[in-house]
C-alpha cells in the first residue's frame, strides 16, 4: 500500500481503537508507572533489550501516539515529545554536545532561542556562533574542529523569512555535522525539512500543531540520516554508554539512535516530560492541521496585501507576496503557502507599534503564535526586549516592527481591526 495522504496521517497515524475498551479517541493514560509481566520483563525493559512502558517521565502511551504521528508527518524514523519546545532544544544539544563544544545558529531566530543559546547554554560550557543563514560563506567560515551542529528555522520567527534549508544542509553535510531545523512556523504541512537535507527536526507543538492555545509541548524528530559513528565527535551515540553497561546506541539502534538517546539519557535524566493531558490535546489539534494551515495561509496573504497598500504601513515582510525577496525560495521549500506569521513596520516607529497593539480588539495581544485566533505583538518591547537594538534589527524585530499571527477568522474582520488600530497612530 502506498503512503497515505497528509490529511489521513494527521488523523490516523499512530492511533488505533483502544484494545481494552474500544475507545476510538486515544485515551489519556493518566498514570505514573506500568506493571511488569515479571522480573525478567522488567530487566529487559530497563536494559533496552525490549521496548515498552516503564515510567511516565520517560514514555507514556498517549505521548507515544503523538510521537508516531509527528514522525509520520515529518517523514522521520522516530520522534520524542516533551514538555516544551525549549525542552526539546535542550535535550537535542544535551545529546550532541560535550563541554567546550560549539554550534552555529541562525541570527534570524526566535528571541527565546537566542536567549537559551547565548546565555543558558553557557552554563553547560556549550557555545554558539551566530550566522546569517543567507550568507553561505559566513556559515562555512564559522565551522571549526569543535563545531557539532547547525541550527536554523524553516521560516524565521518573528519576520516570517524563508530560510534556504537545502543550501545550509549541503554545508552541514560537507562538514560532517548534523543540521537541526526548527519547523514550528511552517509545520510539516508547508515544509518537510528532512526532504531538504535536515538530520533533526524540532517543534514547539504549542503553536500550530496544537493550534488552539491550550497546551504546551515540544518534539524532536530523528531523520535517521546521520552517521553518528563516522567520527568520535558524538560519543553519546557512538561510544560505549556507562548507563547501559557499555551499549553503543548508534550501533544498536541504527536509524532511530538519536531519538533513543534523547529519550533514555536526555529525557530520563533532565526530566522535561510531557503531561498525558497535553499529549491528548496536541493530538486533537493535529487532526485539523492541514485544514487550519491552509486557512492561515490564505488569510495571511489577504492581510499582507492589504497592509502593503496601507498609508500607515512602511513595509511588509511576507514571502507570500510576489514582490517579497523570499517568494522564490517559498515556492521551492513551502509551495502551499508562506505561513501565518509575518511582520510589518508602522510609520512612527516604536510608539506607533505599541499604539497598534494596544488598540486592537479582535486580535489578541499576547506572546504566542499558531492559535486559531489572530494574535499580535510588538517584539521590541516584549519578546525581543532583552536584546540590543542591533540584535533586534538582525532578528527582524526593529523598533517599528509589529508581528501578527493570522488566525482562521474571516479575513475581512481581521483587516477591519487592524485598520481601526492603525488609524490611531
Q: Residue 72's CB: how many other CB atoms inside 10 A?
A: 21
Q: What is the DSSP string of 198-223?
A: -SEEEEETTTTTT-SSS---EEEEE-
| CA 144 to each of CA 101, 104, 132, 139: distance values in angstroms, whole numbers, following the listed order | 10, 10, 17, 11
What is the fold of 6-285? 3.40.640
What is d(CA 87, CA 267) in angstroms, rounded to the nearest whole number? 9
411-422 and 289-308 helices, crossing angle to 10°: 40
- In which residue ranges of the chain is CATH 3.40.640.10 found? 6-285
Cβ within 8 Å of residue 421, ≥6 positions away: 355, 356, 357, 359, 360, 363
| CATH code for the part of the protein at 289-422 | 3.90.1150.10
- In which residue ranges of the chain is CATH 3.90.1150.10 found? 289-422
Cα three-residue angle 130-111-355, rounded to 5 degrees: 135
pLDDT at 2: 65
What is d(CA 149, CA 130) in angstroms, rounded to the nearest whole number? 12
pLDDT at 17: 94
178 and 200 Cβ atoms separated by less than 8 Å: yes
Cis bond upstream, residue 193 (ω within 30) = no
Tens place of pLDDT for every residue, the chain, 425 residues?
A: 468 999 999 999 999 999 989 999 999 999 999 999 999 999 999 999 999 999 999 999 999 999 999 999 999 999 999 999 999 999 999 999 999 999 999 998 888 899 999 999 999 999 999 999 999 999 999 999 999 999 999 999 877 889 999 999 999 999 999 999 999 999 999 999 999 999 999 999 999 999 999 999 999 999 999 999 999 999 999 999 999 999 999 999 999 999 999 999 999 999 999 999 999 999 999 999 999 999 999 999 999 999 999 999 999 999 999 999 999 999 999 999 999 999 999 999 999 999 999 999 999 999 899 999 999 999 888 877 777 888 777 777 889 999 999 999 999 999 999 999 999 99
Q: Phi and psi (nearest 5°) for 346? A: -95, 130
What is d(CA 376, CA 381) in angstroms, rounded to the nearest whole number? 12
Q: What is the DSSP string of 122-149?
A: GGGT-EEEEE-TT-HHHHHHH--TTEEE
pLDDT at 155: 95
What is d(CA 189, CA 207) in angstroms, rounded to the nearest whole number? 14
pLDDT at 388: 80
pLDDT at 70: 98
What is d(CA 28, CA 277) in angstroms, rounded to the nearest whole number? 6
The size of the chain, in residues, is 425
pLDDT at 393: 78
pLDDT at 286: 98
C-alpha cell at 355: 499604539
pLDDT at 149: 98
Q: What is the pLDDT of residues 337-376, one digit of tens each?
A: 999 999 999 999 999 999 999 999 999 999 899 999 999 9
85-96 and 111-118 helices, crossing angle to 10°: 30
284 and 273 Cβ atoms separated by less than 8 Å: no
280 and 65 Cβ atoms separated by less than 8 Å: no
Residue that the C-alpha cell 525493559 belongs to? 45
The whole model's pTM is what? Answer: 0.95
pLDDT at 3: 80
17 and 11 Cβ atoms separated by less than 8 Å: no
The strand ranges marked E within 74-208 are: 78-82, 102-106, 127-131, 147-153, 155-156, 161-162, 179-182, 200-204
Amino acid at each position: 500500500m502506498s503512503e497515505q495522504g497528509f490529511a489521513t496521517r494527521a488523523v490516523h497515524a499512530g492511533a488505533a481503537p483502544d484494545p481494552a475498551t474500544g475507545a476510538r479517541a486515544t485515551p489519556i493514560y493518566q498514570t505514573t508507572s506500568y506493571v511488569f509481566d515479571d522480573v525478567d520483563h522488567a530487566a529487559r525493559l530497563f536494559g533496552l533489550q525490549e521496548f515498552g512502558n516503564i515510567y511516565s517521565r520517560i514514555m507514556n502511551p498517549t505521548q507515544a501516539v503523538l510521537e508516531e504521528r509527528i514522525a509520520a508527518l515529518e517523514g522521520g524514523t522516530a520522534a520524542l515529545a516533551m514538555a516544551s519546545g525549549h525542552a526539546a532544544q535542550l535535550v537535542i544539544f544535551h545529546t550532541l554536545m560535550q563541554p567546550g563544544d560549539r554550534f552555529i545558529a541562525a541570527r534570524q531566530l526566535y528571541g527565546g532561542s537566542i536567549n537559551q543559546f547565548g546565555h543558558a547554554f553557557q552554563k553547560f560550557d556549550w557555545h554558539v556562533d551566530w550566522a546569517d543563514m543567507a550568507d553561505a560563506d559566513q556559515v562555512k567560515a564559522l565551522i571549526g574542529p569543535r563545531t557539532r551542529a547547525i541550527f536554523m528555522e524553516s521560516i524565521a520567527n518573528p519576520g516570517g523569512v524563508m530560510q534556504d534549508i537545502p543550501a545550509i544542509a549541503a554545508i552541514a553535510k560537507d562538514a560532517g555535522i548534523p543540521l537541526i531545523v526548527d519547523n514550528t512556523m511552517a509545520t510539516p504541512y508547508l515544509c518537510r525539512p528532512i526532504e531538504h537535507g535536515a538530520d533533526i527536526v524540532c517543534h514547539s507543538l504549542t503553536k500550530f500543531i496544537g493550534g488552539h492555545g491550550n497546551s504546551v509541548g515540544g518534539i524532536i524528530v530523528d531523520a535517521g540520516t546521520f552517521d553518528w559513528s563516522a567520527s568520535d565527535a558524538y560519543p553519546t551515540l557512538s561510544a560505549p554508554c556507562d548507563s547501559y553497561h557499555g551499549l553503543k546506541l548508534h550501533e544498536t539502534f541504527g536509524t532511530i539512535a538519536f531519538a533513543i538517546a534523547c529519550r533514555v539519557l536526555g529525557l530520563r535524566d533532565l526530566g522535561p516530560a510531557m503531561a498525558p493531558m497535553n499529549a491528548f490535546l496536541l493530538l486533537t489539534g493535529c487532526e485539523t492541521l492541514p485544514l487550519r494551515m491552509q486557512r492561515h495561509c490564505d488569510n495571511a496573504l489577504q492581510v499582507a496585501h492589504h497592509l502593503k497598500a496601507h498609508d500607515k504601513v512602511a513595509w511588509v515582510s511576507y514571502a507570500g507576496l510576489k514582490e517579497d525577496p523570499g517568494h522564490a525560495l517559498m515556492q521551492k521549500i513551502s509551495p502551499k503557502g508562506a505561513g501565518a506569521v509575518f511582520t510589518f513596520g508602522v510609520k512612527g516607529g516604536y510608539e506607533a507599534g505599541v499604539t497598534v497593539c494596544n488598540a486592537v480588539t479582535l486580535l489578541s495581544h499576547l506572546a504566542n503564535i499558531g492559535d486559531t485566533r489572530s494574535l499580535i505583538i510588538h517584539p521590541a518591547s516584549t519578546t525581543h526586549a532583552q536584546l540590543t537594538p542591533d540584535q533586534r534589527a538582525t532578528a527582524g524585530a526593529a523598533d517599528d516592527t509589529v508581528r501578527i499571527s493570522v488566525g482562521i477568522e474571516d479575513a475581512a474582520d481581521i483587516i477591519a481591526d487592524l485598520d481601526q488600530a492603525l488609524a490611531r497612530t
